[in-house]
Protein backbone atom coordinates (compact mmCIF):
# COMPACT_ATOMS: atom_id res chain seq x y z
CA UNK A 1 0.00 0.00 0.00
CA UNK A 2 1.22 3.49 -0.80
CA UNK A 3 4.11 2.23 -3.01
CA UNK A 4 4.35 3.65 -6.53
CA UNK A 5 6.88 3.25 -9.33
CA UNK A 6 8.17 6.29 -11.23
CA UNK A 7 10.72 5.60 -13.99
CA UNK A 8 13.14 3.06 -12.43
CA UNK A 9 12.49 3.82 -8.73
CA UNK A 10 9.95 2.78 -6.12
CA UNK A 11 8.56 5.44 -3.81
CA UNK A 12 6.64 5.04 -0.55
CA UNK A 13 4.06 7.50 0.74
CA UNK A 14 5.73 9.52 3.51
CA UNK A 15 3.61 12.66 4.08
CA UNK A 16 -0.13 12.60 3.42
CA UNK A 17 -2.12 15.39 1.81
CA UNK A 18 -3.93 15.88 5.11
CA UNK A 19 -0.68 16.41 7.04
CA UNK A 20 0.55 18.77 4.32
CA UNK A 21 -2.59 20.91 4.41
CA UNK A 22 -2.43 21.20 8.20
CA UNK A 23 1.15 22.49 8.01
CA UNK A 24 0.29 24.82 5.10
CA UNK A 25 -2.45 26.42 7.20
CA UNK A 26 -0.03 26.81 10.13
CA UNK A 27 2.57 28.46 7.87
CA UNK A 28 -0.10 30.87 6.58
CA UNK A 29 -0.90 31.91 10.18
CA UNK A 30 2.82 32.53 10.86
CA UNK A 31 3.20 34.67 7.73
CA UNK A 32 0.04 36.65 8.53
CA UNK A 33 1.32 37.34 12.04
CA UNK A 34 4.67 38.59 10.71
CA UNK A 35 3.56 40.49 7.60
CA UNK A 36 -0.08 41.52 8.16
CA UNK A 37 0.10 45.12 6.95
CA UNK A 38 3.08 44.85 4.62
CA UNK A 39 1.32 43.69 1.42
CA UNK A 40 4.12 41.16 0.89
CA UNK A 41 5.18 40.05 -2.56
CA UNK A 42 5.32 36.25 -2.80
CA UNK A 43 7.81 34.91 -5.34
CA UNK A 44 7.07 31.19 -5.81
CA UNK A 45 9.81 29.31 -7.63
CA UNK A 46 8.57 27.25 -10.58
CA UNK A 47 8.01 24.44 -11.25
CA UNK A 48 8.09 22.57 -7.96
CA UNK A 49 6.28 25.09 -5.76
CA UNK A 50 3.10 25.42 -7.81
CA UNK A 51 0.92 23.11 -5.68
CA UNK A 52 2.25 24.39 -2.35
CA UNK A 53 1.76 27.96 -3.57
CA UNK A 54 -1.83 27.31 -4.60
CA UNK A 55 -2.77 25.85 -1.20
CA UNK A 56 -0.79 28.48 0.73
CA UNK A 57 -2.35 31.40 -1.18
CA UNK A 58 -5.85 30.09 -0.46
CA UNK A 59 -5.02 30.13 3.26
CA UNK A 60 -3.46 33.61 3.37
CA UNK A 61 -5.97 36.12 4.73
CA UNK A 62 -4.42 39.53 4.04
CA UNK A 63 -3.46 41.73 1.12
CA UNK A 64 -0.57 40.24 -0.82
CA UNK A 65 0.74 39.92 -4.36
CA UNK A 66 2.52 37.10 -6.13
CA UNK A 67 4.67 36.53 -9.18
CA UNK A 68 6.06 33.16 -10.22
CA UNK A 69 9.81 33.10 -10.87
CA UNK A 70 11.96 30.41 -12.39
CA UNK A 71 15.47 29.00 -11.88
CA UNK A 72 16.83 25.50 -12.33
CA UNK A 73 19.37 23.60 -10.24
CA UNK A 74 18.52 19.93 -10.53
CA UNK A 75 18.70 17.16 -13.09
CA UNK A 76 17.71 13.63 -12.11
CA UNK A 77 18.33 12.89 -8.45
CA UNK A 78 21.49 14.94 -7.84
CA UNK A 79 21.80 18.66 -7.38
CA UNK A 80 24.17 20.09 -9.98
CA UNK A 81 24.49 23.25 -7.88
CA UNK A 82 24.51 25.10 -11.21
CA UNK A 83 21.81 27.66 -10.54
CA UNK A 84 20.71 29.65 -13.54
CA UNK A 85 19.45 33.17 -13.77
CA UNK A 86 16.29 34.31 -12.06
CA UNK A 87 13.47 34.86 -14.56
CA UNK A 88 10.20 36.65 -13.87
CA UNK A 89 10.89 38.96 -10.91
CA UNK A 90 9.66 41.89 -12.96
CA UNK A 91 7.15 43.24 -10.42
CA UNK A 92 8.26 46.18 -8.31
CA UNK A 93 10.43 44.65 -5.59
CA UNK A 94 12.03 47.84 -4.30
CA UNK A 95 11.04 48.57 -0.70
CA UNK A 96 8.83 45.46 -0.46
CA UNK A 97 8.72 42.51 1.90
CA UNK A 98 9.49 39.66 -0.47
CA UNK A 99 8.73 36.03 0.44
CA UNK A 100 10.38 33.36 -1.70
CA UNK A 101 8.26 30.20 -1.88
CA UNK A 102 10.17 26.97 -2.53
CA UNK A 103 9.04 23.35 -2.65
CA UNK A 104 12.21 22.11 -0.96
CA UNK A 105 15.47 23.52 0.35
CA UNK A 106 18.19 20.94 -0.17
CA UNK A 107 21.80 22.26 -0.41
CA UNK A 108 20.47 25.82 -0.34
CA UNK A 109 22.19 26.78 -3.61
CA UNK A 110 18.94 27.89 -5.22
CA UNK A 111 17.80 30.19 -2.43
CA UNK A 112 21.30 31.61 -2.04
CA UNK A 113 21.40 32.59 -5.71
CA UNK A 114 17.84 33.91 -5.65
CA UNK A 115 18.52 36.06 -2.60
CA UNK A 116 21.74 37.40 -4.18
CA UNK A 117 19.90 38.40 -7.34
CA UNK A 118 16.92 39.86 -5.46
CA UNK A 119 19.19 42.07 -3.35
CA UNK A 120 20.00 44.02 -6.54
CA UNK A 121 16.29 44.98 -6.74
CA UNK A 122 16.42 46.65 -3.28
CA UNK A 123 13.66 44.88 -1.34
CA UNK A 124 13.04 45.97 2.25
CA UNK A 125 13.43 42.37 3.44
CA UNK A 126 13.57 38.89 1.97
CA UNK A 127 11.98 35.93 3.73
CA UNK A 128 12.19 32.30 2.72
CA UNK A 129 9.30 29.85 2.89
CA UNK A 130 9.70 26.21 1.88
CA UNK A 131 7.38 23.25 2.27
CA UNK A 132 10.29 20.86 2.86
CA UNK A 133 13.74 21.35 4.36
CA UNK A 134 16.64 18.86 4.40
CA UNK A 135 18.75 20.14 7.34
CA UNK A 136 21.50 17.53 6.92
CA UNK A 137 22.07 18.59 3.30
CA UNK A 138 21.78 22.33 3.88
CA UNK A 139 25.06 24.18 3.39
CA UNK A 140 23.72 27.72 3.52
CA UNK A 141 23.68 30.36 6.21
CA UNK A 142 20.39 32.00 5.23
CA UNK A 143 17.53 31.40 7.62
CA UNK A 144 14.61 29.41 6.24
CA UNK A 145 11.95 31.55 7.94
CA UNK A 146 8.99 29.25 7.36
CA UNK A 147 8.94 25.55 6.51
CA UNK A 148 6.47 22.73 6.69
CA UNK A 149 8.58 19.65 7.39
CA UNK A 150 12.19 18.77 8.10
CA UNK A 151 12.98 15.59 6.15
CA UNK A 152 16.02 13.28 5.95
CA UNK A 153 18.41 13.33 3.01
CA UNK A 154 16.23 11.15 0.80
CA UNK A 155 14.81 11.97 -2.61
CA UNK A 156 11.11 12.82 -2.54
CA UNK A 157 8.41 13.39 -5.14
CA UNK A 158 4.79 14.48 -5.25
CA UNK A 159 2.85 17.62 -4.38
CA UNK A 160 4.75 19.51 -7.08
CA UNK A 161 8.11 17.75 -6.81
CA UNK A 162 9.24 15.55 -9.69
CA UNK A 163 11.67 12.81 -10.61
CA UNK A 164 12.79 13.55 -14.18
CA UNK A 165 9.49 15.19 -15.01
CA UNK A 166 7.10 12.70 -13.39
CA UNK A 167 5.29 12.78 -10.06
CA UNK A 168 4.39 16.45 -9.75
CA UNK A 169 0.67 15.69 -9.89
CA UNK A 170 0.67 13.35 -6.87
CA UNK A 171 -1.35 14.73 -3.96
CA UNK A 172 0.87 13.15 -1.26
CA UNK A 173 4.65 13.20 -0.81
CA UNK A 174 6.55 9.98 -1.50
CA UNK A 175 10.13 9.02 -0.55
CA UNK A 176 12.39 6.81 -2.68
CA UNK A 177 12.68 3.34 -1.12
CA UNK A 178 16.24 2.41 -2.17
P1 LIG B 1 19.01 23.21 -3.69
O2 LIG B 1 19.41 24.32 -4.61
O3 LIG B 1 20.10 22.16 -3.61
O4 LIG B 1 18.55 23.66 -2.34
O5 LIG B 1 17.83 22.45 -4.38
C6 LIG B 1 16.59 23.05 -4.57
C7 LIG B 1 15.85 22.47 -5.74
O8 LIG B 1 16.29 21.13 -6.06
C9 LIG B 1 14.39 22.33 -5.40
O10 LIG B 1 13.66 23.49 -5.74
C11 LIG B 1 13.97 21.13 -6.23
O12 LIG B 1 13.60 21.53 -7.52
C13 LIG B 1 15.21 20.28 -6.31
N14 LIG B 1 15.22 19.19 -5.32
C15 LIG B 1 15.98 19.10 -4.22
N16 LIG B 1 15.74 17.98 -3.53
C17 LIG B 1 14.75 17.35 -4.21
C18 LIG B 1 14.02 16.11 -3.97
O19 LIG B 1 14.21 15.36 -3.00
N20 LIG B 1 13.06 15.83 -4.90
C21 LIG B 1 12.80 16.59 -5.98
N22 LIG B 1 13.46 17.74 -6.23
C23 LIG B 1 14.42 18.12 -5.34
Ligand 1 centroid distance, CA of 73 (Å): 7
Domains, the chain, ordered by start? 3-176 (3.40.50.2020)
List, for residues 75-125, the tens digit of each pLDDT value.
556 655 565 677 777 778 999 999 999 999 999 989 998 999 899 999 999
Ligand 1 centroid distance, CA of 161 (Å): 8
Which residues in the chain land under pLDDT 50? none
Confirm if 95 and 68 have CB atoms less than 8 A apart.
no
170: which residues sit within 8 A by CB, 6+ positions away? 4, 157, 158, 159
Q: What is the dihedral of CA 147, 149, 152, 154, to 10 degrees?
A: -90
Nearest residue by C-alpha to atom 9 in ligand 1: 104
Indicate whether residue 132 lines ligand 1 (CB < 6 A): no
What pTM value is reported for the model?
Answer: 0.93
Amino acid sequence: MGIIKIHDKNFKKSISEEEILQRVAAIAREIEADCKYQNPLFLPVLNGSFMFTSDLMKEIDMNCEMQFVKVKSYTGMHSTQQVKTLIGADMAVSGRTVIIIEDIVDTGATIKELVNQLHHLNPNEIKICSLLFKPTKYKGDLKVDYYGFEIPDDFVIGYGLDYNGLGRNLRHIYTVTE
